[in-house]
Amino acid sequence: MSETERIPGERFLLAPGPTHIPGEVLNAMHRQPMDHGDPRLEQLIASCDAGLRRVLHTKKAEIYTFASNGHGAWEAAIENLLAPQQAVLIPMAGHFSEQWAIQVEATGRRVIRTKLREGYPIDPNDVEQALREDSKHEIAAVFVVHTDTARGCTCDLQAIRKAIDAARHPALYVVDVISSLAAAPFEMDALGVNVAIGGSQKGLMCPPGIGFVGVDERAEAIAANNPAPRYYWDWGRRKAKYNYTQFCGSAPQNLLFALEAALALLFREGLEAVQARHALLARAVHAAVEAWSSAGTMSLHCRVPAARSVSVTTIDVAPGIEIDAVRAVARERFQVSFAPALGVQRGKAFRIGHLGDLNAPMILGCLAAIEAAMTVCRVPYGREGMHRAIEVLAEPER
């Protein structure tokens, strides 16, 4: 499609980030910025901080917000929490835990990895064992990706907390909730998470460009004593009174307008209702994919039903299925974008993102468009998919 060609109606974005942006959020961004000294800018920042605390379910944590994507927020955790050469345990959940590990190593720290269990979420026993083996307590923190957005598995954060406690290890508990926040239950304080890491472009329904961390008192103290040289990411510098210093330069004002509007939408719907909507839409997708799988050409990647993500579904495809061709047909002919697999899974799987500002007709439209694209590309699939998804969506409301 050329850039000038107009397609009637909406194009659907079913990627696991960036996600569909609600009209209210787009409109909120459409205004002139303020001067750095305008008290309304302070109010905007305070309102976003308060909203993020509410979504993270924390009363205690400091919020530090960066003009960055999720990788920036990852780096903030690394630079503030880990001294040069210090070690971190990263339980392997898939592409994103590996990428985070690579970033840790690139910044001069050491990573201890657990073994990736393909198709399964992080096993808390692996975490406990790795921590028990660290008798000298060299591991400073455990970095956990809640939902590996590439694999579509969500781990049990409570069980991992218990594993750290059972090993009697003082490591900090640092959790990436970039692709699960707002969509799946997460309670930072109740889980004893020391640092939570989020981004704007997924369950928070904003464009990419804001990364943030919630930091508890213990992690703050460790950061304050960390000798690692740092500047832009330094939490200490960001405690300043003026927003220009808090953001280490200009605040991303129009993104903050977006975030404030998006948070208001989440609170208006109710956080529990938002999670229930995600759970329902995810079940509809899983049901459709299970039906498609009866033709033997694909299968759900996550083998544990309870661990299947409410944000994204990863579907393995059989050798010989040209899934990128199906994606191109879905996008160009049926106006539905769904995501490729990442890293080592590229070409062997695809992903349907079902988080953020989505409803049942958008999900049904997506599933139907994928079926249409598979039909065009002559990919055999079980024909009961739409029916199964509709059955889930038509269940009596709980």
Ligand X SMILES: Cc1ncc(COP(=O)(O)O)c(C=O)c1O
CA distance 336 to 13: 6
Distances 69 to 154, 202, 213, 255 between C-alpha atoms, Å: 21, 11, 12, 12
Between 78 and 379, CB nearer to ligand X: 78
The least distance separating ligand X from the CB of residue 151, rounded to whole angstroms, comes to 10
Axis-axis angle for helices 253-269, 271-292 (nearest 10): 90
Between 144 and 321, CB nearer to ligand X: 144
Q: Does 19 bind ligand X (CB under 6 A)?
A: no
Between 91 and 199, CB nearer to ligand X: 199
Q: Does 155 bind ligand X (CB under 6 A)?
A: no
Question: Six-digit token pair at 105?
Answer: 């190593």
Q: Does 17 bind ligand X (CB under 6 A)?
A: yes
Q: Does 316 bind ligand X (CB under 6 A)?
A: no
The least distance separating ligand X from the CB of residue 343, rounded to whole angstroms, comes to 12
Q: Does 340 bind ligand X (CB under 6 A)?
A: no
Q: Does 145 bind ligand X (CB under 6 A)?
A: yes
Between 18 and 365, CB nearer to ligand X: 18
Tell me the one-letter amino acid at 93.
Answer: A
Between 12 and 143, CB nearer to ligand X: 143
Q: Does 179 bind ligand X (CB under 6 A)?
A: yes
Q: Does 80 bind ligand X (CB under 6 A)?
A: no
Count the residues in the chain. 398
CA distance 299 to 117: 17
Q: Does 96 bind ligand X (CB under 6 A)?
A: yes
Pick the closest to residue 203 from 247, 250, 269 (CA basis): 269
Question: What is the contact mask toward ligand X in residues 29 to 68, using x (rule: CB under 6 A)?
Answer: ----------------------------------------
Give the residues across from 90 on adjacent strands: 113
The least distance separating ligand X from the CB of residue 212, rounded to whole angstroms, comes to 11
Region of residue 116 (phi > 0: left; psi between -120 and 50: alpha; otherwise: beta):
beta
Q: Does 226 bind ligand X (CB under 6 A)?
A: no
Q: Does 149 bind ligand X (CB under 6 A)?
A: yes
Pick the closest to residue 292 from 362, 372, 358, 346 (CA basis): 372
Instruction: Find the binding residues for ligand X in span 190-219 (CB under 6 A).
Output: 199, 208
Q: Return the range that interacts with ligand X (CB under 6 A); candidates 37-45, 69-77, 297-305, 373-381.
A: 69-77
Distances 168 to 86, 118, 125, 158, 313 between C-alpha atoms, Å: 19, 28, 14, 16, 35
Between 48 and 206, CB nearer to ligand X: 206
Q: How many amino acids of this chain bind ligand X (CB under 6 A)?
A: 12
Question: Six-digit token pair at 276?
Answer: 């229930």
Q: Does 90 bind ligand X (CB under 6 A)?
A: no
Between 205 and 321, CB nearer to ligand X: 205
Q: Does 154 bind ligand X (CB under 6 A)?
A: no
CA distance 281 to 354: 7
Q: Return the range that interacts with ligand X (CB under 6 A); candidates 160-168, 176-184, 263-271, 277-285.
A: 176-184
Between 163 and 312, CB nearer to ligand X: 312
Between 179 and 313, CB nearer to ligand X: 179
Give just the sign of the alpha carbon dihedral 23, 25, 30, 31. Answer: positive
CA distance 147 to 151: 8
- 58, 69, 80, 253: which one binds ligand X (CB under 6 A): 69
Give just the sign of the alpha carbon dihedral 52, 54, 58, 60. Answer: positive
CA distance 219 to 242: 23
Give just the sign of the alpha carbon dihedral 207, 203, 147, 235. Answer: positive
The least distance separating ligand X from the CB of residue 358, rounded to whole angstroms, comes to 17
Between 177 and 280, CB nearer to ligand X: 177
What residues make contact with ligand X under the rule CB under 6 A? 17, 69-71, 96, 145, 149, 176, 178-179, 199, 208
